[in-house]
Amino acid sequence: NAGVTQTPKFQVLKTGQSMTLQCAQDMNHNSMYWYRQDPGMGLRLIYYSASEGTTDKGEVPNGYNVSRLNKREFSLRLESAAPSQTSVYFCASSSRGRNQPQHFGDGTRLSIL
Amino acid sequence: GQQLNQSPQSMFIQEGEDVSMNCTSSSIFNTWLWYKQDPGEGPVLLIALYKAGELTSNGRLTAQFGITRKDSFLNISASIPSDVGIYFCAGQWDDKIIFGKGTRLHILP
C-alpha cells in the first residue's frame, strides 16, 4: 500500500542552493498536486497537474517549478532556495473526474538556512 | 479569494467526551472533505461528502454537508487518545480545492 511516496523526508539547504523534491504515486491517478504547509496557514497549493503533460499554477507558485515526468511522477524544484521557502511540502494525487478526493504523501520537511 | 473558516482552532477535551468542529464559507462547494493529520505524517482522508444535506459516518466520526453547500461539520463521539491530531476541512469544486486552517485536538489525561 505505497500510495503517494515523497523523497526525501528531510532536507537542509543553504540559501541559493537548488533542490528537487520527488513524488510518485502508484494509484494510477491522473491529477497530482504540490502543497506547502506552514504553521497557522493550512495547506496552500503551489502547482498542480491535471493530467500527464499539463501543469498549472496554484496559489503560491513563485520560486518553484514543476515537472510532470510521466503519469506516476510529479517533481517540485527550487532553483534558488530562500529562507521563506522553509516549510513542509506535501504531494497529493487524485483520480480523474470532478470532485475526486486527494490522497497525500507523508511530506518533505525542508529547512533553508 | 475564496476562504474557509474552520473553528475552533484548537480544543482541549477529556477522554470520552464528544467533539464538534465546523467549516463555513461564503462560497458554494460541490464536495466537502475531512482529513486528519498526525504528527510527522500527511493528511489522511476521513470522510467525503458529495450532496447537500448528506450525513455520513465512519466509525465514531460523523460529518454533514450543509444544506446551503457553504458549510460542513465533523463530530467525533467518545474521544480516545488516538484521536489527537489536526483535523482539516476542505471544500472542492471541479478540480479546485481549498483547505481550512485546521482544528488541533488535544485530549487531556
Residues B2-58: tens digit of each pLDDT = 689 999 999 999 999 999 999 999 999 999 999 999 988 999 999 999 999 999 999
Helix H or strand E segment including A65: strand A65-68
Contact list in A for residue B44 (CB cut-off 8 A) is: 104
Decide the pairing of beta strands B55-58 and B61-65: antiparallel
Render pLDDT for A73-98 as a digit per residue (tens, 0 to 9). Answer: 999 999 999 999 999 999 999 997 77
Render pLDDT for B5-18 as a digit per residue (tens, 0 to 9). Answer: 999 999 999 999 99
pLDDT category of residue A1 using cuts at 50, 70 and 90: low
> Across the interface, do B95 and A101 touch by the CB < 8 Å criterion?
no
Q: Which residue of A has its CA nearest to B50?
A: A99
What contacts B30, CB < 8 A, 6 or more positions away? A98, A99, B50, B69, B92, B93, B94
Q: In which residue are the cell numbers 494509484 written? A: A27
A55 has pLDDT over 70:
yes
Contact list in A for residue B88 (CB cut-off 8 A) is: 42-43
CB atoms within 10 A of CB A12: 11
Cα A20 to Cα A23, A80, B83: the distances in Å are 10, 11, 34
> Across the interface, do B92 and A50 touch by the CB < 8 Å criterion?
no
